[in-house]
Amino acid sequence: MNLFTQFLSERSGLPEPPLRLLLTVLLGFPAAVIYNYLFGQNAQISTTKDGVNLSHYKIYYILGAGILLNYFFNSFYIYHSLLTISVTYGLLYILGEQTLKNRFIANVCVWIFNAVYLLLGYYYMQTDDYDITWTMTHCVLCLRLMGFGFDYYDAAKHLQKKVAEGTVNPVGLEAEVKQTAVIKEDENTTTTTNQSKKTPSSILPLSFLDDTPLFELPNILEVFAYCLFPSAFLVGPQFSFSLFKKWINNETQQELTTLQKEETYKIQIVYVLRSVALAALYLGIQQTIGTQYSTSYLLTEEYRSLNFINRLFILCLAGKFAYMKYIGIWLLTEGSVALFGISYDRRNYYNTVDKKNVTLFSGLANTKPALFETATSIDHIILSFNINTNLWTKYYVFKRLRFLGNKNLSQFGTLAFLAIWHGFHTMYFVTFLLEFVYVQAETVLRERLVVPYIYPFVGSSDNSMKKGPLFYAWKIIAWATCQFTVTYAVVGFELLKVHKSIAAYQSVYFVGHIPALIVLALHKILPKPMSMKKKVE
C-alpha cells in the first residue's frame, strides 16, 4: 500500500486503491510534460549528444519514468513486472537467437509463461471484490508481452514463406533477417506516406499496422521501456513495439515543416484538453450520481421493494454508471498518451487543411464516447469501448484461430480468451458468453427481420432513401435496445459472484437473457430465408 495515497485516503474519505489508480494515471501528464521539455517535437534522431543518439536518452527517460510510476502504484510488487519482462526477453533471446534458434518455440514458451504467471497471480490475489492490485498492471503487461512474442515469431514466419517460395537461400537466412529488417523499415516509410492519401475507411489502426513483425530482437532496455510506458502500463492502451520504436526515433513527424509542426502542436493541446474535460465529466457524474446507483445497490431490500419498471430502469442505470468509470479513466489515459505524442497519426493530417481535424492524436484512443453513447448495435460498442484491447485480440487471437474453419468458433475462442484473461470469477465467463449470445441474436434479427422487413419501410443509413420520421423512430428503438443489452450484461461482470448476479437478474425476471435465447432457438427451428441459405452455400 502506498503511504502517500493512504494518507490522502484518510483525509479525503475516498478508498485508497481507486485513489492510487487515479493519481497514477494523472502523474502520466507531468511525465509527458517533462518529456516534451527535454526532447521536444523538433528533436531529430540524427541529433547526438556526446556521440550517443538522442533516441537512447528518450529510452532512458521513458524507462525511468515508467519504473517510478509503476513503483508508485505497485510499490514492492513492481518486481512482478520486472521479473516477467526479464524472463520473456530471456526466452526469446536464448530459444530464438542462441540455442534452438526457433522463434516458434520461443513464442510458445512466452505465451505459456505469461499466461501461467498471470493466472497464478489471480489465484493468490483474487478476492470477492474488484481487485486493484499488481494484477491490474500485470494483465496489461501480459498482453503486451504475448503480442511482442508473436511479433518476433511473425518475422520468422514471413522469411520461412520466402524460403518455401525459393526467393531466399535457407543457408543465408540469418543474414536475410537483418537485410529484411532494413528493407522493411524503408518500405514502412513509403507505405505510411501512401496511406496518408487513402480515405479513413482504408486506414489500418495505428496500434497494430502491417509492420509489427520484428525481424531483429530489440535490445532489452527498449523492451523494458516499451512495456513500462508511463501512460500505458496501468490500463493500456495496447500498441505494437514497432509503433513505439518509430515514435522514439521521431519518424512520425519527420516530414512536417516547421509551420505544420506548430499547427500540429496546437491540435495536440486541444485534443489533450478535450480528453481531460470529457474524463472529468464522466468521472464526475460517476462519483456524484453513480455511487448512489452502484451494482451493489441492486442487492438491497430498498431496491427489491421497488416496482418492476423502476427495478429494470435502475439496473440499466447501474450498468451505465459502471461503464462510466472505465470510459473516464481511459479518457484520462488518452490525454496523457496524446501529450507524449505517440498517438499521433500523420495519415490523418489532410484534415488539418480545413481545420476540421479532431482525430490527429486519436490513434491510440481506447474509447469513442460519441459512438458509444449513440450506438445502435453491438458492433458499435465493440468499435467504441476498450478499442485497443479488442484490436489486440482480433490481431493476435481471432485471426490466429482461422484453423478452426468457422468464424463463430473463432469468435467464441476469442471471448473465452478474454474471459480467462480477466480472472477466475465465474461471471466473467458468463458475461462474455452472454455477449456472444447477443452478437448471434443480433445477427439473426438483422438478417431475418430488419433487412427484409424493416429497412424497406424506414430506409437504412446506407441507401439513397430519404431519411424520414420512421427511420429516426427505428434508430431510437435500435439505440434503446443496444443500450439495454450492454448495460444489462455488465451488471454480472461487476457483481463477480454468481449468487449476487442471479439475485440482481432475478429481480427483473432475467428479461435480458430470455429474449436472446428465444431468438436463437427460433432461428434453429424456423426455415432459413433464401438470403441466409446463399451465405451458407
- For residues 174 and 510, which has the higher predicted lDDT (pLDDT)? 510
Q: Which pLDDT value is given to residue 199?
A: 38
What pLDDT, on a 0 to 100 scale, did the predictor assign at position 1? 61
Same domain assignment for residues 221 and 272: no
**pLDDT category of residue 45 using cuts at 50, 70 and 90:** very low
SS3 67: helix
Distance CA 126, CA 104 (A): 32
Radius of gyration from C-alpha coordinates of the chain: 25
Question: Interior CA angle at 520 toward 514 and 523, to 5°?
Answer: 140
Residue 460, pLDDT > 70, answer: no
Per the CB < 8 A criterion, the answer to whether 89 and 241 are in contact is: no
**What is the distance, to the nearest Å, from the Cα of residue 469 to the centroid of all Cα atoms in its chain?**
37
Higher-pLDDT residue of 65, 291: 65
Say if CB 52 and CB 164 are below 8 A apart: no
Compute the residue count for the chain.
537
Q: State which of 181-185, 402-406, 429-433 shows the largest mean pLDDT.
A: 429-433
* Residue 224 and residue 305 share a domain: no
Which residue has better confidence, 317 or 528?
317
Kindly report whether the global pTM for this prediction surpasses the value 0.75.
yes
Residue 142, all three cell numbers: 501480459
Question: So what's the pLDDT on residue 526?
Answer: 87
| Residue 124 included in any domain | yes
Count CA atoms closer than 13 A to 181's CA, side-chain side: 15
Instruction: Reply yes or no on whether the pLDDT at 529 is more than 80.
Output: no
21 alpha-carbon distance from chain centroid: 18
Question: With pLDDT > 90 as the criterion, what percentage of the chain qualifies?
Answer: 64
Answer yes or no: do 211 and 167 share one domain: yes
Q: Is 90 exceeded by the pLDDT of residue 5?
A: no
Output the CA angle 29-31-32, nearest 5 degrees: 65
What pLDDT was estimated at residue 75?
A: 93
52-53 and 48-49: which strand pairing?
antiparallel
The C-alpha atoms of residue 474 and residue 479 are separated, in whole angstroms, by 8
Decide if 24 contacts 69 (C-beta within 8 A): yes
DSSP code string of 108-171: HHHHHHHHHHHHHHHHHH--SS---SHHHHHHHHHHHHHHHHHHHHHHHHHHHHHHHTTSS-GG
Greater pLDDT, 460 or 195 = 460
- Closest C-alpha among 338, 371, 193 to residue 267: 338
Residue 409 domain-assigned? no
pLDDT tens, position by position, 378-401? 999 999 999 999 999 999 999 999
Point out the domain boundary residue: 255, 282, 300: 255
* Residue written as grid cell 514466419: 157
> Which residue did the predictor score with more confidence, 37 or 460?
37
What integer best gives the mean pLDDT of the chain?
86
Q: Is residue 47 part of a domain?
A: yes
**Contact of 444 with 520, CB cutoff 8 Å:** yes
Per-residue model confidence (pLDDT) at position 88? 98
Query: What is the pLDDT at residue 413?
Result: 94
Total Cβ atoms within 10 A of residue 230:
29
- The three grid cell numbers given for residue 350, joined into one nine-digit string: 489532410
Q: Which amino acid is at 193?
A: T
Q: What percent of the chain has pLDDT over 70?
A: 83
Per the CB < 8 A criterion, the answer to whether 239 and 208 are in contact is: yes
Q: Are residues 435 and 340 in the same domain?
A: yes
pLDDT at 263: 84
232 in a structural domain: yes
Residue 224 grid coordinates:
523494458
Last residue of a domain, one of 196, 226, 255: 255
The answer to whether 387 and 366 are in contact (CB under 8 A) is yes
Q: Are residues 179 and 218 in the same domain?
A: yes
Q: Nearest 10 degrees: CA dihedral of 523, 527, 529, 533?
A: 90
Query: Do 210 and 277 fall into the same domain?
Result: no
Q: Determine, yes or no, domain membership for 411.
A: no
497 has pLDDT over 60? yes
Residue 460's φ and ψ, nearest 5 degrees, are -105, 160
**Together in a domain, 251 and 266:** no
- Are 251 and 296 contained in the same domain? no
Q: So what's the pLDDT on residue 468?
A: 76
In a shared domain, residues 41 and 150: yes
Asked if residue 150 and residue 57 are part of one domain, the reply reads yes
Higher pLDDT, 254 or 194: 254
Domain boundary among 255, 276, 304: 255
> Count of alpha carbons within 13 Å of 415, Cβ hemisphere only?
19
Q: Do 173 and 303 have their domain in common?
A: no
Domain holding 113, by residue range, is 3-255
Residue 415 maps to a domain: no
Q: Does 404 reside within a domain?
A: no
Number of compact structural domains in the chain: 2
**Does residue 42 lie in a domain region?**
yes
Together in a domain, 222 and 344:
no
List the grid coordinates of 219. 535490445
- Distance, CA of 44 to CA of 250 (rounded, Å): 6
- Burial class of residue 93 (count of CB atoms within 10 Å of its CB; 0-12, 13-18, 19+): middle
